[in-house]
Amino acid sequence: MRKLTHNDLRQLITNTCRHNLHEAYVETPDIHDIDPTDLIAFANGCINMGNIVFEQFEHLLSEGPGAEINQNALEVMKDAVGGMNAMIDDALEEASAVDDEDY
């Protein structure tokens, strides 16, 4: 598994946001009715993580489920961006499972 770089993560976020906005557009043909709150919520979640937790978030996405992540940071990640992207949710769930096995 290849490590995700900062640019890869940025591209993932961009693609996810585009996908969410595209889905909203397909469901709502009038472009003026599209609500960009999903994009804003994800960006706000990333900002609210703080630098140290965000670094661990990047580490988790680049290293995979075997990455050593602080349990408190993992909870902050779940609160901040949980439920916004299936790939991120899977990574958070796998990290939680690995962490639970350690105890």
Angle at 48 between CA 38 and CA 17, to 5 degrees: 25
Select the more confidently predicted residue: 33 or 9: 9
Give the global pTM.
0.58
Q: Which pLDDT band holds residue 20 (cuts at 50, 70, 90)?
A: low
Q: Which pLDDT band holds residue 34 (cuts at 50, 70, 90)?
A: very low
Cα dihedral 81→82→88→93 (10° resolution): 140
- 70-to-3, 32, 46, 55, 63 alpha-carbon distances in Å: 19, 42, 17, 11, 14
Q: What is the pLDDT of residues 37-58, one digit of tens each?
A: 766 777 788 888 888 888 888 8
**Every domain of the chain and the residues it spans:** 6-102
Calpha distance 9→5 (Å, rounded): 6
Q: What is the pLDDT of residues 53-82, one digit of tens each?
A: 888 888 888 888 778 888 899 999 999 888
